[in-house]
Structure 1
Amino acid sequence: MRKPSFATILIASPIALAAATPAFAQDTNPVFTGPRVEATLGYDHVGAGSSVDNNNGRDDQSIDGLLYGGGVGYDVALGGALVGVEGELTGSTAKSGRRDYTTNFGFGRVKQGRDLYIGARAGILANPQTLLYVKGGYTNARLNVLAGSTSQTTDTDFDLDGYRVGAGVERAVGPNSYAKIEYRYSNYSRGQLDYANGGASSRFDVDTDRHQVVASYGFRF
């Protein structure tokens, strides 16, 4: 799987989104500051990274699904700029098909589980109602292992640690509400196997990529 150019994502994406947003004056400028809470829905794609060997013809398998969840954050406006911190908890419907358990997807047959993210963002105002931003931080994803040839999940999970970068546009739609759309890329480079008895394996190297395009609607307090 070919990795995207981060410079292109972080610079070109907000500019392209801004081009579609009409700039206009308004008597009262919305304030992009303070605590916020939001619901998120979007597209989720998970696959083996570029360093994974493909000798068996299956390690480059990928899974796709619907991302859902929510997040919280706190932003501080600095004139025409903004900085903030944020956290997110999401789930996904992405899961692998009915193929051999030992070789599919580089882990086995899996279902995407919960994902935790914490990070920061920074942005600029394109106009009084539109914020362009970039983001980055830490992400921890869980892959639930599917048992043998059945459709049941076991208590055995892979926990994956990695980083996330992204870019988006946020639009004020009321005095205390907003909508936004963003693209984010995550790469997971370390993993750990959690056993059903509560134990865990030693940490090991992985290379798993994740691409998401999501929309969120939220409120500020």
Structure 2
Amino acid sequence: MNKILVAALMTSASLATPALAQDINSSFTGPRVEAILGYDHVGAGSDVDNNNGRDDQSIDGLLYGVGAGYDVAVGGAVLGVEAEYTDSTAKSDRFDYTDTFGFGRVDAKRDLYVGARAGILANPATLVYVKGGYTNAKLGVLAGDTNQETNRSFKLDGWRIGAGVERALTSNSFAKVEYRYSKYNEAKLDYMNGATSSEFDVDTDRHQVVASVGYRF
């Protein structure tokens, strides 16, 4: 009797496992939304050397925002498109007005991103992926010795690449950890009177490490 019971349990488990795997795998297909939180570092790129001895002219802060995307699972691979809106608490210290990687005193503001990602399933519930796309960031200009906004801002255009790991928690929910690097090469300055400068070259890097939790419909 015991042998019959054990055999029945093993048969049930073997039938249930593929069904469970199929159910988890389905969580990597369809539209998704997510909340994003992480570390944000903005600084001078490799072509800039200001030589003022202040930590390579960088700002650090907390990144937060929301994202949305759509993925399709094809065999053991996943392809998708995505977009994000994030903000940041990164802000310059109260040093001289012109002392921060060529922009003066600034604080990091909204960052828009649109791109694509591609990954492979390490197992039925775990996706390892890479991503890339376009990013447009905003840096608000601060007064030299206070945190007062000056109603001027820089808008930066660039590209982003990254990599991450996503884990399906259920067939509809997920969590992920991701590193991304952004490079900004062009910028415009918005003035207080609403005018905008001509586009000019910049060399600004951005490093971010973020965690996300989300829901797939």
| Corresponding residue number in structure 2 for 1:121 | 117
1:167-206 to structure 2, matched below 5 A, reads 167-206=163-202
Q: 1:157 & 1:26 partners in 2: Cα distance? A: 54
Q: 1:26 & 1:96 partners in 2: Cα distance? A: 53
Q: 1:58 & 1:126 partners in 2: Cα distance? A: 42
Q: 1:58 & 1:188 partners in 2: Cα distance? A: 21
C-alpha deviation, 1:53, in angstroms: 2.8
- Output the amino acid matched with 2:139: L
1:217 aligns with 2:213: yes
Alignment deviations for residues 135-164 of structure 1 (CA, whole Å, 9 cap, x no partner): 000000000000232221121000000000
Q: 1:60 & 1:155 partners in 2: Cα distance? A: 26
Gaps of 5+ in 1: 1-24
CA RMSD of aligned residues (A): 1.3
Q: 2:87 & 2:51 partners in 1: Cα distance? A: 31
Q: 1:128 & 1:77 partners in 2: Cα distance? A: 11
| 142-151 vs 205-214, which moves further | 142-151
| Corresponding residue number in structure 1 for 2:204 | 208
Q: Could you tell me the percent identity over the aligned residues?
A: 73
C-alpha deviation, 1:54, in angstroms: 2.2
- Pairing partner for 1:157 from 153, 159, 166: 153
| Corresponding residue number in structure 2 for 1:8 | none
C-alpha deviation, 1:26, in angstroms: 5.8
User: For 1:27, what is the secondary structure of its paired residue?
Assistant: helix
1:34-49 to structure 2, matched below 5 A, reads 34-49=30-45
Q: 2:134 & 2:175 partners in 1: Cα distance? A: 23
Considering fraction of residues, name the structure with more helix: 2
- Output the amino acid matched with 1:207: D
- Pairing partner for 2:19 from 23, 27, 43: 27
User: For 1:217, what is the secondary structure of its paired residue?
Assistant: strand
- Output the amino acid matched with 2:169: V
Gaps of 5+ in 2: 1-16
Q: 1:74 & 1:90 partners in 2: Cα distance? A: 18
TM norm structure 1: 0.86
User: For 2:50, what is the secondary structure of its paired residue?
Assistant: coil
Alignment deviations for residues 99-129 of structure 1 (CA, whole Å, 9 cap, x no partner): 0002323210110010000000000100000
Q: 1:153 & 1:183 partners in 2: Cα distance? A: 30
Q: 1:124 & 1:214 partners in 2: Cα distance? A: 20
Q: Which runs of 4+ in 1 moved over 3 A?
A: 55-59
Alignment deviations for residues 81-115 of structure 1 (CA, whole Å, 9 cap, x no partner): 01100000000000010100023232101100100
User: For 1:106, what is the secondary structure of its paired residue?
Assistant: coil
Q: 1:152 & 1:26 partners in 2: Cα distance? A: 59
TM norm structure 2: 0.87
- Pairing partner for 1:144 from 115, 121, 140: 140
